[in-house]
């Protein structure tokens, strides 16, 4: 089990609402279907645990940059949130597996290097990469999964995750809006590469394999649906947000208009 | 959908940030940065995603055939528990490889281990 704080967001509980005790829709699945959903949620548990480590880096970066204390506090709480998400995902996986699954092995975190960036710019790029890009995208992915989810346990879990991811994404937008124009301009040369790499990784982690349509009701729609949502996240949230902050989004828009390929870096 | 989320994440975030003043720890010269000074920025890492499926370990094709034939791949871990009892001291997860579309094999000296809690409360590899 992944430990999260007793004095965390929900006072030691997994979420704001109690986990549904009964879910006949799980019992109605075939053994192989249950195993597949369990595998997906256990993979998510491993990834959520690693993102706790990501937010520890973000918390420290915000502190170094003198960000408002409320933001540093939110980032610190996000570390605990992600531990809780890992446990929540493990619990869901266990419900589908029909056995108490152990927390998956801890995945190593590779922090972006952002070579050529000063420490100040690197810290800002950290926040852009993890919050503005990654967590904002996660919000769209979760909402897309929720649109298709019908099973009580999966729906409960997705709602809990989404409400937190909204706040985690906000951390980035709030920070970016609070810094001066020079800081934002210094980050601009990295925007397209980071957006490209973020979308590339999301696509890689959601492979376009055949998917039993019945699993959509359990929080696992076909990844082709998620791939559409990923591009929509960039076009409908990230780009307008950056533009509102007077950042140059021209290169990202041109890449999107050309099809947002992640087969090779944009030229 | 996107409009609602835009307001919730981006709009609210920007509004909150615009109302605050940050005393940046850096000076102006700290902002003199360029990705051109450090090689291609496209070769960098991205922050790991939270809602994936381990896709880079679970590509389609023959790997999917393996899943269909024998089920999902095992976790392959370094430092496997000697007595079959799981702990969380696994230092690294190694991709499982699908052989002939019929069996999963853990490579590079790793060992398959799917930790399951038994009735006595201990964790064992399955």
State pLDDT tens for residues A83-93.
Answer: 999 999 999 99
* Backbone phi and psi for residue B32, each to the nearest 5 degrees, phi listed first: -80, 85
Q: Report pLDDT for B50.
A: 82
Tokens matching residue A26 = 């799980």
Q: Report pLDDT for A228.
A: 93
CB contact under 8 A, B55 and A204: yes
Q: Using an 8 Å CB-CB cutoff, list chain A residues near B84.
A: none
- Judged by average pLDDT, the poorest of A71-75, A179-183, A245-249, B75-79 is B75-79
Element at B94 (helix H, strand E): strand B93-94
Tokens matching residue A194 = 């980071």
* Helix segments in B1-126, DSSP class H: 2-5, 12-18, 62-70
| Distance of alpha carbon A206 from alpha carbon A226, whole angstroms | 8
The mean pLDDT of A157-167, rounded to a whole number, is: 94
Nearest CA in chain B to A232: B2
Residue A119: pLDDT band by 50, 70, 90 thresholds?
very high
User: Residues 48-107, chain B: which have Cβ within 8 Å of A?
Assistant: 48-56, 58-60, 64, 67, 71-72, 75, 77, 86, 88, 90, 92-93
CA distances in angstroms from B38 to A118, A128, A159, listed in the order given? 11, 19, 41
CB B76 within 8 A of CB B88: no
Per-residue confidence in pLDDT tens, chain B, 126 aa: 567 899 999 999 999 988 875 544 444 445 667 776 667 888 888 998 988 776 444 445 555 656 655 666 676 766 656 666 665 554 445 566 766 666 777 765 667 776 677 777 776 776
Q: Evaluate if pTM is beyond 0.90.
A: no
Q: Report pLDDT for B114.
A: 67
The mean pLDDT of A134-150, rounded to a whole number, is: 95
| Distance of alpha carbon B6 from alpha carbon A139, whole angstroms | 10
Distance from CA of A62 to the nearest CA of B (A): 10
Task: Please work out, in degrees rounded to the nearest 5, the angle formed at the alpha carbon of residue A111 by the alpha carbons of A66 and B93.
Answer: 140
Out of B36, B55, B117, closest to residue A207 by CB: B55
A148 in contact with B at a CB cutoff of 8 Å? no
CB A90 within 8 A of CB B117: no
Task: Please work out, in degrees rounded to the nearest 5, the angle formed at the alpha carbon of residue B12 by the alpha carbons of A127 and A219.
Answer: 75
User: What is chain A's alpha carbon radius of gyration, rounded to the nearest angstrom?
Assistant: 19
Q: Using an 8 Å CB-CB cutoff, list chain A residues near B58.
A: 207, 209
Percentage of residues in chain B with pLDDT exceeding 70? 40
* Backbone phi and psi for residue B121, each to the nearest 5 degrees, phi listed first: 90, -5
Q: Using an 8 Å CB-CB cutoff, list chain A residues near B22.
A: 65-68, 175, 178-180
The model's pLDDT over A90-107, given as tens digits with 9 standing for 90+, comes to 999 999 989 888 887 777
| Distance of alpha carbon B126 from alpha carbon A190, whole angstroms | 45
Percentage of residues in chain A with pLDDT exceeding 70? 99
Nearest CA in chain B to A128: B47
Nearest partner of B99 among B125, B73, B62, B126, judged by Cα = B62
- ipTM of this model? 0.88
| Distance of alpha carbon B57 from alpha carbon B96, whole angstroms | 7
Q: Report the residue of A127, A182, A209 to disrupt the B interface, i.e. the one with the largest count of B CBs within 10 Å.
A: A209
Q: Report the residue of B46, B84, B123 to disrupt the A interface, i.e. the one with the largest count of A CBs within 10 Å.
A: B46
User: Residues 67-126, chain A: which have Cβ within 8 Å of B?
Assistant: 67-68, 82, 85, 99-122
Out of B42, B48, B90, closest to residue A105 by CB: B90
A-to-B residue pairs, Cβ atoms closer than 8 angstroms: 283
């Amino acid at each position: 089990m992944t430990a999260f704080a007793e004095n965390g967001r929900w006072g030691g509980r997994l979420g704001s609402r109690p986990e549904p005790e009964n879910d006949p829709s799980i019992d109605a699945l075939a053994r192989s279907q249950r195993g597949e959903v369990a595998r997906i949620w256990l993979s998510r548990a491993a990834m959520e645990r690693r993102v706790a480590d990501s937010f520890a880096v973000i918390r420290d970066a915000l502190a170094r940059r003198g960000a408002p204390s409320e933001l540093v506090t939110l980032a610190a709480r996000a570390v605990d949130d992600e531990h809780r998400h890992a446990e929540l995902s493990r619990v869901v996986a266990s419900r589908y597996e029909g056995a108490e699954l152990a927390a998956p092995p801890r995945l190593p975190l590779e922090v972006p290097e952002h070579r050529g960036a000063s420490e100040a710019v690197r810290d800002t790029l950290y926040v852009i990469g993890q919050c503005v890009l990654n967590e904002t995208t996660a919000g769209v992915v979760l909402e897309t999964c929720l649109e298709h989810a019908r099973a009580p346990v999966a729906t409960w879990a997705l709602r809990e995750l989404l409400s937190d991811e909204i706040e985690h994404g906000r951390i980035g937008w709030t920070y970016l809006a609070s810094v001066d124009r020079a800081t934002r301009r210094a980050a601009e040369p990295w925007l397209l590469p980071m957006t490209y790499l973020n979308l590339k990784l999301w696509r890689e982690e959601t492979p376009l394999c055949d998917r039993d349509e019945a699993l959509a009701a359990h929080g696992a729609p076909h990844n082709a649906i998620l791939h559409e949502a990923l591009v929509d996240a960039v076009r409908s949230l990230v780009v307008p947000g950056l533009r509102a902050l007077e950042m140059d989004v021209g290169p990202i828009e041109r890449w999107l208009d050309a099809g947002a390929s992640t087969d090779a870096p944009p030229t | 959908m996107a409009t609602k989320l835009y307001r919730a994440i981006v709009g609210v975030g920007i509004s909150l940030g615009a109302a605050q003043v940050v005393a940046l720890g850096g000076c102006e010269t700290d902002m003199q940065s360029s990705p051109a000074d450090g090689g291609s920025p496209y070769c960098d890492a991205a922050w790991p995603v939270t809602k994936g499926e381990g896709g880079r370990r679970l590509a389609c094709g023959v790997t999917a055939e393996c899943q269909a034939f024998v089920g999902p791949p095992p976790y392959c871990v370094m430092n496997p528990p000697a007595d079959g009892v799981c702990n969380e001291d696994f230092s690294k997860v190694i991709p499982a490889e699908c052989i002939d579309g019929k069996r999963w094999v853990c490579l590079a000296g790793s060992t398959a281990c799917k930790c399951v809690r038994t009735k006595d409360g201990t964790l064992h590899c399955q």
